[in-house]
């Protein structure tokens, strides 16, 4: 069936279309009702269906006779370890961990925070939760205690599963001191803290009272079976940056998500069961959930857990080594990773060392991909580099290409076409649909297809205000875009205070809150400026309080340190510039877009609402001074 036809059916004959797709996964109880409207008139999929995600990822394949197939490869250049697990071996670990969690009193509907590095035990913990209906919340291992506290306070976990350390190239990052600090700051005590001891160093002094040893728990526990959960039962919460300082707990269902992921593996990635599929993302991001864990395992693909960086572990040939060693057929990464490789190996010398015969397609997402990177990829790697666009909220691609039948056409700089299920429009601010080639807001007609967010955890008002209130009957993505005459979509970037730094989604408002808390700062603006390697990096412009005589160097150093301690080093806030005043509108709003354009050195139009045009010259002079 051709793509156009699939797309049309997904919109015009929505329920039949998704009922057929739902048959591609194995339910404990197949849904009779396909789409329902809940009390908030936000649609839900397959409400009376019952299934279990861990069963689909693991047990089903064993029942079907594939227990001895490799399910997981762990490749860790930073520790020199390599290990594989078959589906049967994975079930052994997961079912016993699930039994252990149950023995600690965790049951269906409870939440558990997982704060772990890129090791197999993280995946086991996610699936162990899914096995017994516990809702997991994976927190990116690079986040600082404050970020952990925000999540703990919001989802009130009954357990926190962690490890003794992560590794950043050659640097051990001890997690327990961070966890201890978070627990101290959190409103409620977390009853159970389970720690996987990686035994990387003698770290006895980092242990604190009340820890449960992960390995002992697994060893002494009886395996637990997969329980049936309703299709709408939350599988996980994943917090993501919004336009305020507080992250949003995106809530994902089970049945719609499983259906959408199976569809993605079949049609978008076009990968066959039994092949190796690798998404090089941290488990802490949406990509890590959907395409390092659930998608490939549902599809019976071997998935790879890579603990390292695309460069320096040991060199920029690491990705090609892994692709060759494990016969990866389809890979997914962020463009920034390819840019980092390209910078180290501009002539593709390291690529030549490896046999990439099995490698068929490279998918890219997470941020805009520049054409030069696509060109480099195709020239030196020789497989198609396929951009696609999605968000934590959707959980799977919304714009992309359906590559399964090989009959697709890449348009450089475009993220592709709307994926079946996503009725995408480009609107102006008044809700009028724009013609081809006009830039506007990317919005999607409701209902969203299966797999997209159920809501925001514990905050229905925020869910409505963030996504559903801008245009009635539509989901507001927060991205700008242009459509061309062939229906291809070109993403132009966020229209809110969210920025993307090396594929990491961050909120500039959150950074502004931290910058403003510095005792010498009267007010500030943090904007995302262009960066050749990371796509965007934050830049803070601050106005000092009257009477403050702190030097630019000192305040920069202090603010940079505080942002690292409060959010993470991945925020990459490295620049702080002091100015006498910020450009504002007559009504007192900070003109952040103008600041960004001036910092990027791009052409600008003077906003008609500006209160004093002279400020532009002032800021330009400051920028020159700051950069000299």
For ligand COA, the binding residues (CB under 6 A) are: 141-142, 166, 168, 173, 281-282, 285, 287, 309-310, 334, 336-337, 340, 365-366, 502-504, 569-570, 572
User: Closest CB to ligand COA among 234 and 503?
Assistant: 503
Residue burial 213-227, b: 16+ Cβ < 10 Å; e: rest: ebeebbeebebbebb
CA–CA gap between residue 446 and residue 464 (Å, rounded): 13
CB nearer ligand COA, residue 311 or residue 544: 311
Concatenate the DSSP letters of all residues of 221-254 into one string: SPP-PPPPEETTS--EEEEE--SSSSPEEEEE-S
3-state secondary structure of 277: strand
CB 455 within 8 A of CB 42: yes
Q: Which of 162, 276, 324, 500 binds ligand AMP (CB under 6 A)?
A: 500
Task: Report CA dihedral (194, 197, 203, 209) to the nearest 10 degrees.
Answer: 20
Strand partners of residue 278: 331
**142 vs 234, beta carbon nearer ligand COA:** 142
How many residues touch ligand AMP under the rule CB under 6 A: the total is: 19
In whole angstroms, the minimum distance from the beta carbon of 93 to ligand AMP comes to 29
Please name which of 18, 90, 472 lies closest in space to residue 255, comparing C-alpha atoms.
18
286 near ligand AMP (CB under 6 A): yes
**Which tokens is 470 given?**
């801008």
Which pair of tokens denotes residue 274?
Answer: 């039994």
The interface partner of residue 240, options being ligand COA, ligand AMP, none and the CB cut-off 5 to 8 Å by kind, is: ligand AMP
Select the residue interacting with ligand AMP from 162, 276, 391, 578 (CB under 6 A).
391
Q: Which of 186, 178, 113, 194 is nearest to 142 (CA)?
A: 178
Cβ distance 594 to 567 under 8 Å? Answer: no
Q: Report the C-alpha gap between 260 and 252 in whole angstroms.
A: 12
The site partner of 173 among ligand AMP, ligand COA, none (C-beta below 5 to 8 Å per kind) is ligand COA
CB of 488 to ligand AMP, least distance (A): 13
Q: Which is nearer to ligand COA, 1 or 170 (CB)?
A: 170
Indicate which of ligand COA, ligand AMP, none lies near residue 334 (CB less than 5 to 8 Å, by partner kind). ligand COA
Report the nearest approach of ligand AMP to the CB of residue 527 (Å): 15
Residue 60 near which of ligand AMP, ligand COA, none (CB within 5-8 Å, type-dependent):
none
Q: Residues 410 to 439: which contact ligand AMP by CB under 6 A?
A: 415
By a kind-dependent CB cut-off of 5 to 8 A, residue 391 interacts, out of ligand AMP, ligand COA, none, with: ligand AMP
- What tokens were used for 86? 């078959």
- Structure-block tokens of residue 349: 């010398």
Please identify which residue in 131, 289, 494, 518 interacts with ligand AMP, judged by CB under 6 A: 494
Helix H or strand E segment including 330: strand 328-333
The reply to whether 497 sits near ligand AMP by the rule CB under 6 A is: no
Closest CA to 137 of 238, 286, 281: 238
Is 538 a binding residue for ligand AMP by CB under 6 A? The answer is no
**Contacts of ligand AMP in 358-387 (CB under 6 A):** 365-368, 387
Residue 43 CB, nearest approach to ligand AMP (Å): 21
Q: How many Cα atoms sit within 13 Å of 324 on the Cβ side?
A: 13
Based on the shown chain and the rule CB under 6 A, indicate whether residue 441 belongs to the binding site for ligand AMP.
Answer: no
DSSP-derived pairing of the beta strands 159-163 and 192-196? parallel
**Cα R_g (the chain), whole angstroms:** 24
Dump the DSSP string for 64-105. TT-TTSEEEEEEETTTTEEEEEEHHHHHHHHHHHHHHHHHTT
Please state whether beta strands 248-252 and 236-240 pair in parallel, antiparallel, or not at all (unpaired). Answer: antiparallel
CB closer to ligand AMP out of 102 and 365: 365
Task: Name the residue nearer to ligand COA (CB basis): 133 or 142.
Answer: 142
569 interacts with, out of ligand AMP, ligand COA, none, CB within 5 to 8 A per kind:
ligand COA
Q: Which is nearer to ligand AMP, 115 or 363 (CB)?
A: 363
Of the residues 91, 342, 505, 592, which one makes contact with ligand AMP according to CB under 6 A: 505
Which residue's CB is nearer to ligand COA, number 365 or number 454?
365
CB of 626 to ligand COA, least distance (A): 20
Strand order in the sheet with 361-364: 81-86, 70-76, 302-306, 276-279, 328-333, 361-364, 385-387
Would you say 96 or 592 has its CB closer to ligand AMP?
A: 592
Q: Which residue ranges make up the site for ligand AMP (CB under 6 A)?
A: 240, 285-286, 365-368, 387-389, 391-392, 415, 478-479, 491, 494, 500, 505
């Amino acid at each position: 069936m051709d793509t156009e036809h699939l797309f049309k059916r997904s919109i015009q004959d929505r329920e039949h279309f998704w009922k057929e797709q739902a048959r591609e996964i194995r339910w404990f109880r197949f849904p009779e009702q396909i789409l329902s409207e809940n009390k908030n008139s936000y649609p839900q999929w397959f409400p009376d269906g019952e299934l279990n995600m861990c069963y689909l990822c693991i047990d089903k394949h064993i029942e079907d006779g594939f227990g001895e197939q490799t399910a997981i490869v762990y490749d860790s250049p930073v520790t020199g370890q390599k290990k594989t697990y078959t589906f049967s071996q994975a079930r052994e670990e997961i079912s016993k961990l699930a039994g252990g969690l149950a023995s600690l009193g965790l049951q269906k509907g409870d939440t558990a925070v997982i704060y772990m590095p890129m090791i197999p035990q993280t995946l086991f913990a996610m699936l162990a939760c899914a096995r017994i209906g516990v809702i997991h919340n994976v927190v990116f291992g690079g986040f600082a205690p404050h970020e952990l506290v925000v999540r703990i306070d919001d989802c009130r976990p009954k357990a926190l599963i962690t490890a003794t350390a992560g590794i950043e190239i050659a640097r051990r990052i001890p997690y327990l001191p961070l966890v201890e600090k978070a627990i101290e700051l959190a409103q409620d005590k977390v009853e159970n803290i389970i720690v996987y001891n990686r035994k990387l160093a003698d770290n006895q002094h980092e242990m604190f009272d009340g820890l449960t040893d992960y390995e002992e728990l697994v060893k002494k526990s009886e395996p637990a079976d997969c329980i049936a959960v309703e299709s709408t039962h939350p599988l996980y919460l994943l917090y993501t940056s919004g336009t305020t300082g507080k992250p949003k707990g995106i809530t994902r269902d089970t049945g719609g998500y499983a259906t959408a992921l199976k569809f993605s593996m079949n049609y978008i990635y076009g990968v066959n069961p039994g092949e190796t599929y690798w998404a090089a993302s941290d488990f802490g991001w949406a990509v890590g959930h959907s395409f390092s864990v659930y998608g490939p395992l549902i599809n019976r693909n071997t998935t790879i857990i890579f603990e390292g960086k695309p460069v320096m572990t040991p060199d920029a040939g690491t990705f090609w080594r892994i692709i060759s060693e494990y016969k990866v057929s389809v890979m997914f990464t962020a463009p920034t990773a390819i840019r980092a490789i390209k910078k180290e190996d501009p002539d593709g010398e390291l690529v030549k060392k490896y046999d990439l015969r099995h490698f068929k397609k490279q998918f890219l997402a997470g941020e805009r991909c520049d054409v030069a990177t696509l060109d480099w990829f195709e020239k030196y790697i020789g497989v198609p580099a396929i951009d696609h666009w999605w968000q934590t909220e959707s959980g799977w691609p919304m714009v992309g290409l359906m590559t399964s039948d090989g009959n697709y056409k890449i348009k450089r700089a475009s993220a592709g076409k709307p994926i079946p299920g996503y009725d995408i429009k480009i609107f102006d601010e008044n809700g009028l649909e724009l013609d081809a080639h006009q830039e506007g807001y990317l919005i999607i007609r409701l209902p969203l297809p299966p797999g997209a967010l159920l809501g925001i955890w514990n905050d229905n008002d925020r869910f409505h205000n963030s996504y559903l209130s801008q245009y009635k009957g539509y989901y507001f993505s927060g991205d700008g875009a242009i459509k061309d005459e062939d229906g291809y979509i070109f993403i132009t970037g966020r229209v809110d205070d969210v920025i993307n730094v090396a594929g990491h989604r961050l909120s500039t408002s959150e950074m502004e809150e931290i910058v403003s808390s510095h005792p010498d700062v009267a007010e500030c603006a943090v904007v995302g400026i262009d960066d050749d390697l990371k796509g965007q990096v934050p830049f803070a412009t601050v106005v000092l309080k009257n009477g403050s005589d702190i030097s630019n160097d000192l305040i920069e150093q202090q603010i940079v340190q505080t942002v690292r301690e409060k959010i993470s080093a991945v925020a990459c806030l490295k620049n702080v510039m002091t100015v006498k005043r910020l450009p504002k509108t007559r009504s007192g709003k900070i003109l952040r877009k103008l600041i960004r354009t001036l910092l990027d050195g791009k052409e600008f139009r003077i906003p008609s609402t500006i209160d004093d045009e002279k400020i532009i010259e002032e800021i330009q002079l400051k920028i020159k001074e700051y950069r000299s």
